[in-house]
Amino acid sequence: MKKQGITQKALAEKMNCTQQYISKILKGRENLSLEALCKIESALGIQILRFDSNN
């Protein structure tokens, strides 16, 4: 998140969740859903998941 220049609070606001939820994710105390991963990608403008349609 430092590389993206975003705080936990700002990410939480973009994802429409709590800062506590973001903290749990970063500490490995919360399992991520596909929906949460997609929200993180969108909020940070990065690609986490990639599906290869050639296989």
Decide if pLDDT at 54 tops 80.
no
At position 51, the amino acid (one-letter code) is F
| Predicted pLDDT at 9 | 96
Treating both helix axes as pointing N-terminal to C-terminal, what angle do 8-15 and 34-44 enclose, rounded to 10 degrees?
Answer: 120
State residue 55's pLDDT score: 61
- DSSP H helical segments within the chain, as ranges? 8-15, 19-26, 34-44
Q: What is the pTM of this model?
A: 0.78
Buried-state track 32-55, b at ≥16 Cβ within 10 A, e below 16: eeeebeebbeebbeeeeeeeeeee
The pLDDT score that the predictor gives to residue 51 is 80
CA distance 33 to 36: 5
